[in-house]
Amino acid sequence: MTEVSYETRRSELKTYFDRTAKDNWVALTSNSPVSRIRQTVRAGREEMRNTLLGWLPTDLRGCRLLDAGCGTGALAIEAARRGAEVVAIDISPELVAEASARLPHDIDPKTIQFEAGDMSDPRYGSFDYVIAMDSLIHYPMDSITKLIEGFAPRTRDGILFTFAPKTPALSVMKAMGKLFPRNDRSPAIEPVTETKLISSINGSLTYNFGFRVNRTKFVTTKFYKSQAMELINS
């Protein structure tokens, strides 16, 4: 079976997050009331964000960080609060506008560059850390590996991302997702076999760029299942 190309999926995701599901996504990432299903997703996402932020140094002053697929900006804002200079990129201009509007008063607007664009665009420059929370989960493994290979030569310390692990639970959830009311459905998620992902990383990324897997953590609530992975430059 041929995999969907990077460009095709990126365009589908732009339509989905910018239009189809924009209001739902804005609600999910706010404090407004949501369905029970979405409450479990919200709780899982919060745990995931805290996991990724917990893997970064507490003091991020002097660090340049890419939030790759920033959505409504929660992670970017927290990283800026800890002193990072953040470049927050999302393919959806609507979500980028929402993220900018959510910037709290205690954060200097100059510390976050919110921009609509492709996270893989090299013109955003070099970083100490690249973080992609739940933005690579929508791409097939080949695209995930290529995206990370694109980040590697421009990243000094760490690449932190999440993937959807191919587990029986996730397969059941994917099938169940089709039964959800339309509003509770998520866009295509591409489950990836962890061992295949690690061997692909150990091959090209370690050999060419010196990055290796440092740790992973599976975060699971009833309707949220995602696995964090940290690659460090050794």
CA 202 to each of CA 52, 117, 149, 230: distance values in angstroms, whole numbers, following the listed order? 21, 29, 12, 13
What is the nearest approach in angstroms of ligand SAM to the Cβ of residue 139?
7
DSSP string, 93-158: HHHHHHHHHT--TTS-GGGEEEEES-TT-GGG--EEEEEESSSSTTS-HHHHHHHHHHHGGGEEEE
Q: Closest Cα to residue 113, out of 78, 160, 66, 72? A: 66
Q: Which residues of 170-187 are buried (b: 16+ CB within 10 A; e: fewer)?
A: beebbeebeeeeeebebe
The answer to the question of residue 230 lying near ligand SAM (CB under 6 A) is no
Residues 188-207 that bind ligand SAM (CB under 6 A): none
Residue 158 found at the interface with ligand SAM (CB under 6 A): no
Q: Which is nearer to ligand SAM, 69 or 197 (CB)?
A: 69
Query: Which x/- pattern, by CB under 6 A, does the window 55-84 give for ligand SAM?
Result: --------------xxx--x----------
| Candidate residues 118, 128, 190, 230; the one interacting with ligand SAM per rule CB under 6 A | 118
Contact residue for ligand SAM among 78, 94, 98, 134 (CB under 6 A): 134
Classify residue 222 by its DSSP letter.
Answer: T
- Nearest approach, Cβ of 207 to ligand SAM (angstroms)? 25
Is 135 a binder of ligand SAM (CB under 6 A)? yes
The interface mask with ligand SAM, positions 204-223, x = CB under 6 A, is --------------------
- Answer yes or no whether residue 119 interacts with ligand SAM by CB under 6 A: yes
In the complex, minimum distance from the CB of residue 216 to ligand SAM, in angstroms, rounded to a whole number: 17
24 versus 92: smaller Cβ distance to ligand SAM: 92
Residues lying near ligand SAM in the complex (CB under 6 A) are found at 10, 13, 17, 29, 69-71, 74, 89-92, 95, 118-119, 133-135
